[in-house]
Structure 1
Amino acid sequence: MEVAENTALVVVDVQRGFDDASFWGPRNNPAAEANIAALMDAWQETGRPVVLVRHTSVRPGSVLAEDHPGHAFKEFVGDRREAAALLVTKTVNSSFHGTPDLARWLDAQGIGAIVVVGIQTNMCVETTARVGGNLGYEVLVPLDATHTFDLEGPDGLSLTADALTTATAVNLHGGGFARVTTTARLLAAVGGRIPA
Protein backbone atom coordinates (compact mmCIF):
# COMPACT_ATOMS: atom_id res chain seq x y z
CA MET A 1 0.00 0.00 0.00
CA GLU A 2 1.24 3.47 -0.89
CA VAL A 3 0.12 6.58 0.99
CA ALA A 4 0.97 9.88 -0.70
CA GLU A 5 2.96 12.38 1.35
CA ASN A 6 0.10 14.86 1.29
CA THR A 7 -2.69 12.38 2.16
CA ALA A 8 -4.81 14.01 4.86
CA LEU A 9 -5.86 12.18 8.02
CA VAL A 10 -9.43 13.27 8.79
CA VAL A 11 -10.19 12.65 12.48
CA VAL A 12 -13.96 12.71 12.86
CA ASP A 13 -15.80 13.59 16.09
CA VAL A 14 -13.45 12.09 18.67
CA GLN A 15 -15.29 13.91 21.45
CA ARG A 16 -15.83 13.27 25.15
CA GLY A 17 -19.58 13.02 24.77
CA PHE A 18 -19.15 9.62 23.13
CA ASP A 19 -17.84 8.25 26.45
CA ASP A 20 -21.36 8.57 27.94
CA ALA A 21 -22.57 4.96 27.82
CA SER A 22 -25.91 5.92 29.40
CA PHE A 23 -26.59 8.14 26.38
CA TRP A 24 -25.24 5.92 23.58
CA GLY A 25 -25.43 2.34 24.86
CA PRO A 26 -22.95 -0.47 24.16
CA ARG A 27 -19.99 0.28 21.90
CA ASN A 28 -17.46 -1.85 20.06
CA ASN A 29 -13.72 -1.74 19.35
CA PRO A 30 -12.07 -0.57 22.58
CA ALA A 31 -8.78 -0.25 20.63
CA ALA A 32 -10.14 2.57 18.44
CA GLU A 33 -8.65 5.42 20.46
CA ALA A 34 -5.16 3.89 20.60
CA ASN A 35 -5.25 3.30 16.84
CA ILE A 36 -6.44 6.84 16.13
CA ALA A 37 -3.66 8.23 18.35
CA ALA A 38 -1.05 6.09 16.57
CA LEU A 39 -2.22 7.34 13.18
CA MET A 40 -2.24 10.96 14.35
CA ASP A 41 1.32 10.56 15.65
CA ALA A 42 2.50 8.92 12.41
CA TRP A 43 0.91 11.63 10.29
CA GLN A 44 2.49 14.37 12.38
CA GLU A 45 5.91 12.67 12.48
CA THR A 46 5.95 12.32 8.68
CA GLY A 47 4.66 15.82 7.98
CA ARG A 48 1.34 14.70 6.56
CA PRO A 49 -1.69 16.95 7.21
CA VAL A 50 -4.18 16.21 9.99
CA VAL A 51 -7.72 17.57 9.89
CA LEU A 52 -9.83 17.57 13.06
CA VAL A 53 -13.61 17.50 12.75
CA ARG A 54 -15.93 18.31 15.64
CA HIS A 55 -19.68 17.77 15.75
CA THR A 56 -21.76 20.55 17.29
CA SER A 57 -25.19 19.07 17.86
CA VAL A 58 -28.25 21.28 17.56
CA ARG A 59 -30.48 18.70 19.29
CA PRO A 60 -31.67 19.75 22.76
CA GLY A 61 -29.99 17.74 25.52
CA SER A 62 -27.30 16.28 23.28
CA VAL A 63 -23.98 15.39 24.91
CA LEU A 64 -22.35 16.89 21.79
CA ALA A 65 -24.01 20.31 22.15
CA GLU A 66 -21.60 23.24 22.20
CA ASP A 67 -22.48 24.14 25.81
CA HIS A 68 -22.00 20.56 27.07
CA PRO A 69 -18.64 19.24 28.39
CA GLY A 70 -18.99 16.35 25.92
CA HIS A 71 -18.46 18.75 23.03
CA ALA A 72 -14.72 18.87 23.83
CA PHE A 73 -12.25 16.58 22.11
CA LYS A 74 -11.09 13.51 24.00
CA GLU A 75 -7.87 14.27 25.85
CA PHE A 76 -5.53 12.44 23.48
CA VAL A 77 -6.88 14.44 20.53
CA GLY A 78 -6.80 17.69 22.48
CA ASP A 79 -3.14 17.00 23.32
CA ARG A 80 -2.37 16.73 19.59
CA ARG A 81 -4.61 19.59 18.44
CA GLU A 82 -1.79 22.11 17.97
CA ALA A 83 -0.37 20.10 15.07
CA ALA A 84 -3.66 19.96 13.16
CA ALA A 85 -3.70 21.81 9.85
CA LEU A 86 -7.46 22.45 9.93
CA LEU A 87 -10.42 22.31 12.33
CA VAL A 88 -13.85 21.72 10.77
CA THR A 89 -17.07 22.21 12.74
CA LYS A 90 -20.24 20.52 11.53
CA THR A 91 -23.85 19.92 12.57
CA VAL A 92 -24.57 17.01 10.18
CA ASN A 93 -22.98 13.64 9.44
CA SER A 94 -20.63 14.59 6.61
CA SER A 95 -17.37 16.38 7.36
CA PHE A 96 -17.70 17.86 3.87
CA HIS A 97 -20.75 19.84 5.04
CA GLY A 98 -19.06 21.88 7.76
CA THR A 99 -17.15 25.10 8.28
CA PRO A 100 -14.68 25.79 6.80
CA ASP A 101 -15.35 23.89 3.59
CA LEU A 102 -13.23 20.72 3.72
CA ALA A 103 -13.25 20.04 -0.03
CA ARG A 104 -12.20 23.60 -0.82
CA TRP A 105 -9.32 23.31 1.67
CA LEU A 106 -8.18 19.91 0.34
CA ASP A 107 -8.26 21.19 -3.23
CA ALA A 108 -6.32 24.33 -2.30
CA GLN A 109 -3.62 22.13 -0.74
CA GLY A 110 -3.50 19.83 -3.77
CA ILE A 111 -4.70 16.88 -1.67
CA GLY A 112 -6.37 14.05 -3.56
CA ALA A 113 -6.49 11.35 -0.87
CA ILE A 114 -7.86 11.14 2.67
CA VAL A 115 -7.84 8.62 5.51
CA VAL A 116 -11.02 8.80 7.58
CA VAL A 117 -11.01 7.71 11.25
CA GLY A 118 -13.16 8.45 14.29
CA ILE A 119 -16.67 8.10 15.66
CA GLN A 120 -19.22 6.74 14.74
CA THR A 121 -18.25 4.10 12.17
CA ASN A 122 -21.66 3.84 10.50
CA MET A 123 -22.64 7.47 10.88
CA CYS A 124 -20.18 10.34 10.43
CA VAL A 125 -17.20 8.20 9.38
CA GLU A 126 -19.18 6.34 6.72
CA THR A 127 -20.96 9.47 5.50
CA THR A 128 -17.70 11.41 5.25
CA ALA A 129 -16.13 8.54 3.31
CA ARG A 130 -19.11 8.25 0.96
CA VAL A 131 -19.18 11.97 0.19
CA GLY A 132 -15.40 12.04 -0.21
CA GLY A 133 -15.60 9.19 -2.70
CA ASN A 134 -18.42 10.93 -4.57
CA LEU A 135 -16.30 14.08 -4.80
CA GLY A 136 -13.47 12.13 -6.40
CA TYR A 137 -11.02 11.76 -3.53
CA GLU A 138 -9.19 8.50 -2.91
CA VAL A 139 -10.60 7.45 0.46
CA LEU A 140 -9.06 4.96 2.90
CA VAL A 141 -10.90 3.84 6.04
CA PRO A 142 -9.07 1.78 8.69
CA LEU A 143 -12.11 0.31 10.44
CA ASP A 144 -10.11 -0.53 13.56
CA ALA A 145 -9.56 3.22 14.06
CA THR A 146 -13.32 3.76 14.39
CA HIS A 147 -16.06 2.64 16.73
CA THR A 148 -19.82 2.79 17.01
CA PHE A 149 -22.75 1.74 19.19
CA ASP A 150 -25.61 -0.74 19.04
CA LEU A 151 -28.55 0.82 17.19
CA GLU A 152 -32.30 0.31 17.07
CA GLY A 153 -34.28 0.79 13.88
CA PRO A 154 -37.97 0.54 12.97
CA ASP A 155 -40.35 -2.22 14.00
CA GLY A 156 -38.04 -3.67 16.64
CA LEU A 157 -35.10 -4.12 14.30
CA SER A 158 -31.68 -3.65 15.86
CA LEU A 159 -28.04 -4.26 15.02
CA THR A 160 -25.00 -4.58 17.24
CA ALA A 161 -22.08 -2.22 16.86
CA ASP A 162 -20.04 -5.04 15.30
CA ALA A 163 -22.79 -5.81 12.78
CA LEU A 164 -23.02 -2.13 11.86
CA THR A 165 -19.25 -2.01 11.38
CA THR A 166 -19.41 -5.02 9.07
CA ALA A 167 -22.17 -3.32 7.09
CA THR A 168 -20.06 -0.17 6.80
CA ALA A 169 -17.11 -2.19 5.49
CA VAL A 170 -19.31 -3.81 2.84
CA ASN A 171 -21.03 -0.53 1.93
CA LEU A 172 -17.81 1.42 1.52
CA HIS A 173 -15.53 -1.17 -0.03
CA GLY A 174 -18.12 -3.12 -2.00
CA GLY A 175 -19.85 0.06 -3.09
CA GLY A 176 -16.63 1.62 -4.37
CA PHE A 177 -16.75 4.63 -2.05
CA ALA A 178 -13.54 3.82 -0.18
CA ARG A 179 -10.85 1.22 0.37
CA VAL A 180 -11.29 -0.42 3.77
CA THR A 181 -8.00 -1.22 5.48
CA THR A 182 -6.35 -1.46 8.91
CA THR A 183 -4.30 0.79 11.13
CA ALA A 184 -1.33 -1.59 10.91
CA ARG A 185 -1.28 -1.47 7.10
CA LEU A 186 -1.39 2.32 7.08
CA LEU A 187 1.30 2.62 9.74
CA ALA A 188 3.53 0.22 7.79
CA ALA A 189 3.00 2.32 4.66
CA VAL A 190 4.03 5.60 6.34
CA GLY A 191 6.67 4.21 8.73
CA GLY A 192 4.68 4.70 11.94
CA ARG A 193 4.76 2.67 15.15
CA ILE A 194 2.07 0.05 15.62
CA PRO A 195 0.40 0.35 19.06
CA ALA A 196 1.00 -2.49 21.51
Structure 2
Amino acid sequence: MELKTNAALIIIDQQKGILHPKLGRRNNPQAEERIVALLAHWRLTGRPVIHVQHLSHSPESVFWPQQSGVEFQERFLPSVGERLIQKRVPDAFCATGLEAGLREAGIEQLIIVGVATNNSVESTARTAGNLVFNAWVVEDACFTFDKADFFGHPHSAEEVHAMSLGNLHGEYATVVSTAQILTAG
Protein backbone atom coordinates (compact mmCIF):
# COMPACT_ATOMS: atom_id res chain seq x y z
CA MET A 1 0.00 0.00 0.00
CA GLU A 2 1.60 3.22 -1.15
CA LEU A 3 0.50 6.64 0.04
CA LYS A 4 1.42 9.30 -2.50
CA THR A 5 3.07 12.52 -1.34
CA ASN A 6 0.15 14.50 -2.82
CA ALA A 7 -2.67 12.21 -1.62
CA ALA A 8 -5.59 14.41 -0.58
CA LEU A 9 -7.35 13.89 2.74
CA ILE A 10 -11.05 14.61 2.23
CA ILE A 11 -12.86 15.26 5.52
CA ILE A 12 -16.62 15.11 5.00
CA ASP A 13 -19.22 17.01 7.05
CA GLN A 14 -17.41 17.27 10.39
CA GLN A 15 -19.76 20.04 11.44
CA LYS A 16 -21.33 20.76 14.81
CA GLY A 17 -24.74 19.50 13.71
CA ILE A 18 -23.53 15.93 13.25
CA LEU A 19 -23.27 15.68 17.04
CA HIS A 20 -26.98 16.49 17.54
CA PRO A 21 -28.81 13.82 19.58
CA LYS A 22 -31.78 13.81 17.19
CA LEU A 23 -29.65 11.88 14.69
CA GLY A 24 -29.76 8.86 16.99
CA ARG A 25 -27.34 6.15 17.96
CA ARG A 26 -24.08 5.95 16.02
CA ASN A 27 -21.12 3.62 15.61
CA ASN A 28 -17.35 4.22 15.73
CA PRO A 29 -17.21 6.52 18.79
CA GLN A 30 -13.45 7.03 18.20
CA ALA A 31 -13.89 8.14 14.58
CA GLU A 32 -13.23 11.80 15.32
CA GLU A 33 -10.02 11.00 17.24
CA ARG A 34 -8.83 9.03 14.22
CA ILE A 35 -9.74 11.87 11.85
CA VAL A 36 -7.79 14.27 14.08
CA ALA A 37 -4.78 11.90 13.93
CA LEU A 38 -4.99 11.70 10.14
CA LEU A 39 -5.40 15.47 9.84
CA ALA A 40 -2.32 16.02 12.05
CA HIS A 41 -0.35 13.58 9.88
CA TRP A 42 -1.46 15.32 6.69
CA ARG A 43 -0.46 18.72 8.06
CA LEU A 44 2.88 17.40 9.28
CA THR A 45 3.70 15.84 5.90
CA GLY A 46 2.40 18.80 3.88
CA ARG A 47 -0.20 16.82 1.97
CA PRO A 48 -3.38 18.52 0.69
CA VAL A 49 -6.43 18.65 2.95
CA ILE A 50 -9.96 19.26 1.68
CA HIS A 51 -12.74 20.11 4.13
CA VAL A 52 -16.26 19.39 2.88
CA GLN A 53 -19.14 21.33 4.43
CA HIS A 54 -22.78 20.46 3.84
CA LEU A 55 -25.26 23.32 3.43
CA SER A 56 -28.74 21.83 3.60
CA HIS A 57 -31.80 22.97 1.67
CA SER A 58 -34.01 21.96 4.58
CA PRO A 59 -34.63 24.15 7.66
CA GLU A 60 -35.11 20.93 9.70
CA SER A 61 -31.58 19.75 8.91
CA VAL A 62 -28.72 19.89 11.42
CA PHE A 63 -26.77 21.46 8.52
CA TRP A 64 -29.22 24.28 7.78
CA PRO A 65 -27.04 27.34 7.02
CA GLN A 66 -28.93 29.68 9.36
CA GLN A 67 -27.84 27.96 12.60
CA SER A 68 -24.66 26.87 14.40
CA GLY A 69 -24.92 23.20 13.36
CA VAL A 70 -23.61 24.12 9.92
CA GLU A 71 -20.29 25.36 11.38
CA PHE A 72 -17.24 23.12 11.52
CA GLN A 73 -16.37 21.57 14.87
CA GLU A 74 -13.40 23.47 16.35
CA ARG A 75 -11.01 20.54 15.88
CA PHE A 76 -11.84 20.40 12.17
CA LEU A 77 -11.56 24.08 11.25
CA PRO A 78 -9.66 24.48 7.98
CA SER A 79 -6.15 25.88 8.29
CA VAL A 80 -4.58 28.38 5.90
CA GLY A 81 -3.95 26.71 2.56
CA GLU A 82 -6.52 23.97 3.06
CA ARG A 83 -9.38 23.83 0.61
CA LEU A 84 -13.04 24.28 1.55
CA ILE A 85 -15.73 22.63 -0.57
CA GLN A 86 -19.35 23.53 0.17
CA LYS A 87 -21.96 21.11 -1.13
CA ARG A 88 -25.76 21.07 -1.26
CA VAL A 89 -26.17 17.30 -1.84
CA PRO A 90 -24.37 14.29 -0.34
CA ASP A 91 -21.85 13.91 -3.18
CA ALA A 92 -18.89 16.30 -2.71
CA PHE A 93 -18.20 16.19 -6.45
CA CYS A 94 -21.67 17.39 -7.51
CA ALA A 95 -21.61 21.04 -8.66
CA THR A 96 -18.62 21.94 -6.44
CA GLY A 97 -15.54 22.12 -8.64
CA LEU A 98 -13.85 19.39 -6.56
CA GLU A 99 -12.94 17.25 -9.58
CA ALA A 100 -11.50 20.18 -11.53
CA GLY A 101 -9.42 21.29 -8.54
CA LEU A 102 -8.02 17.80 -8.01
CA ARG A 103 -7.20 17.35 -11.70
CA GLU A 104 -5.56 20.78 -11.88
CA ALA A 105 -3.37 19.90 -8.86
CA GLY A 106 -2.48 16.50 -10.33
CA ILE A 107 -4.03 14.67 -7.38
CA GLU A 108 -5.13 11.11 -8.13
CA GLN A 109 -5.24 9.51 -4.67
CA LEU A 110 -8.05 10.43 -2.26
CA ILE A 111 -8.30 9.39 1.39
CA ILE A 112 -11.94 9.81 2.43
CA VAL A 113 -13.14 10.14 6.04
CA GLY A 114 -16.15 11.63 7.82
CA VAL A 115 -19.85 11.15 7.97
CA ALA A 116 -22.20 9.56 7.25
CA THR A 117 -20.69 6.36 5.90
CA ASN A 118 -23.85 5.39 4.00
CA ASN A 119 -24.62 8.90 2.79
CA SER A 120 -22.03 11.56 1.94
CA VAL A 121 -19.01 9.28 2.36
CA GLU A 122 -20.44 6.54 0.14
CA SER A 123 -21.79 9.00 -2.42
CA THR A 124 -18.47 10.84 -2.69
CA ALA A 125 -16.43 7.62 -2.82
CA ARG A 126 -18.66 6.16 -5.56
CA THR A 127 -18.17 9.24 -7.71
CA ALA A 128 -14.43 9.26 -7.00
CA GLY A 129 -14.24 5.67 -8.22
CA ASN A 130 -16.38 6.38 -11.25
CA LEU A 131 -14.08 9.30 -12.13
CA VAL A 132 -11.11 6.89 -11.85
CA PHE A 133 -9.52 8.45 -8.79
CA ASN A 134 -7.64 6.06 -6.50
CA ALA A 135 -10.11 6.36 -3.60
CA TRP A 136 -9.49 4.94 -0.15
CA VAL A 137 -12.19 5.01 2.53
CA VAL A 138 -10.89 4.85 6.10
CA GLU A 139 -13.44 2.58 7.79
CA ASP A 140 -12.62 3.50 11.38
CA ALA A 141 -12.55 7.23 10.62
CA CYS A 142 -16.15 7.22 9.35
CA PHE A 143 -19.42 6.67 11.16
CA THR A 144 -23.14 6.51 10.65
CA PHE A 145 -26.40 6.05 12.55
CA ASP A 146 -29.05 3.39 13.16
CA LYS A 147 -31.39 3.29 10.17
CA ALA A 148 -34.46 1.39 9.03
CA ASP A 149 -34.35 -0.13 5.57
CA PHE A 150 -36.95 0.47 2.85
CA PHE A 151 -39.24 -2.17 4.34
CA GLY A 152 -39.08 -0.69 7.83
CA HIS A 153 -36.69 -3.23 9.33
CA PRO A 154 -34.30 -1.57 11.79
CA HIS A 155 -30.53 -1.91 11.34
CA SER A 156 -27.81 -0.91 13.76
CA ALA A 157 -25.28 1.75 12.81
CA GLU A 158 -22.69 -1.03 12.73
CA GLU A 159 -24.74 -2.96 10.15
CA VAL A 160 -25.42 0.14 8.04
CA HIS A 161 -21.71 1.05 8.18
CA ALA A 162 -20.60 -2.47 7.22
CA MET A 163 -23.03 -2.68 4.29
CA SER A 164 -21.95 0.70 2.98
CA LEU A 165 -18.28 -0.29 3.15
CA GLY A 166 -19.19 -3.54 1.42
CA ASN A 167 -20.86 -1.57 -1.36
CA LEU A 168 -17.67 0.44 -1.90
CA HIS A 169 -14.78 -1.97 -1.40
CA GLY A 170 -13.23 -3.33 -4.56
CA GLU A 171 -15.56 -1.56 -6.96
CA TYR A 172 -15.39 2.15 -6.15
CA ALA A 173 -12.72 2.35 -3.46
CA THR A 174 -10.36 0.43 -1.25
CA VAL A 175 -11.46 0.23 2.38
CA VAL A 176 -8.58 0.61 4.84
CA SER A 177 -7.99 1.44 8.51
CA THR A 178 -6.40 4.50 10.10
CA ALA A 179 -3.40 2.38 11.17
CA GLN A 180 -2.85 1.21 7.59
CA ILE A 181 -2.83 4.81 6.34
CA LEU A 182 -0.53 6.10 9.08
CA THR A 183 1.99 3.29 8.50
CA ALA A 184 1.84 3.77 4.71
CA GLY A 185 3.48 7.13 4.89
Pick the aligned partner of 1:91 from 88, 91, 98.
Answer: 88
CA shift, 1:144, in A, is 0.3
Q: Residue in 2 aligned with 1:120?
A: 116
Q: Secondary structure at the match of 1:131?
A: helix
Structure 1 CA distance for aligned equivalents of residues 155 and 162 of structure 2 = 11
CA shift, 1:62, in A, is 1.3
Structure 2 CA distance for aligned equivalents of residues 154 and 138 of structure 1 = 31
Q: Secondary structure at the match of 2:125?
A: helix
Structure 2 CA distance for aligned equivalents of residues 154 and 163 of structure 1 = 15
Pick the aligned partner of 2:158 from 153, 157, 162.
Answer: 162
Q: Is the 8 A contact 1:13 1:54 kept in 2?
A: yes
Q: Secondary structure at the match of 1:89?
A: strand
Q: Note the 1:28-177 alignment, pairs <5 A.
A: 28-78=27-77, 81-99=78-96, 101-174=97-170, 176-177=171-172
Q: Is the 8 A contact 1:118 1:146 kept in 2?
A: yes
Q: Secondary structure at the match of 1:29?
A: coil
Identity of matched residues, %: 39
Structure 2 CA distance for aligned equivalents of residues 98 and 86 of structure 1 = 16
CA shift, 1:98, in A, is 4.2
Structure 1: which 5+ residue stretches go unaligned? 191-196
Task: Report the aligned-residue RMSD.
Answer: 1.1
Q: Secondary structure at the match of 2:39?
A: helix
Structure 1 CA distance for aligned equivalents of residues 82 and 161 of structure 2 = 28
Q: Is the 8 A contact 2:23 2:145 kept in 1?
A: yes
Q: Deviation string for 1:77-102 (max 9, x for gaps)? A: 02xx1145210000101010143x10
Pick the aligned partner of 1:179 from 164, 167, 174.
Answer: 174
Structure 1 CA distance for aligned equivalents of residues 34 and 80 of structure 2 = 18
Structure 2 CA distance for aligned equivalents of residues 155 and 108 of structure 1 = 44
Structure 2 CA distance for aligned equivalents of residues 150 and 98 of structure 1 = 29
Deviating 4+ runs (over 4 angstroms): none
Length, aligned pairs only: 185
TM-score, length of structure 2 as denominator length: 0.96
Counterpart amino acid of residue 176 in structure 2: T
**Which one has the bigger helix percentage?**
1
Structure 2 CA distance for aligned equivalents of residues 163 and 154 of structure 1 = 15
Q: Is the 8 A contact 2:5 2:47 kept in 1?
A: yes
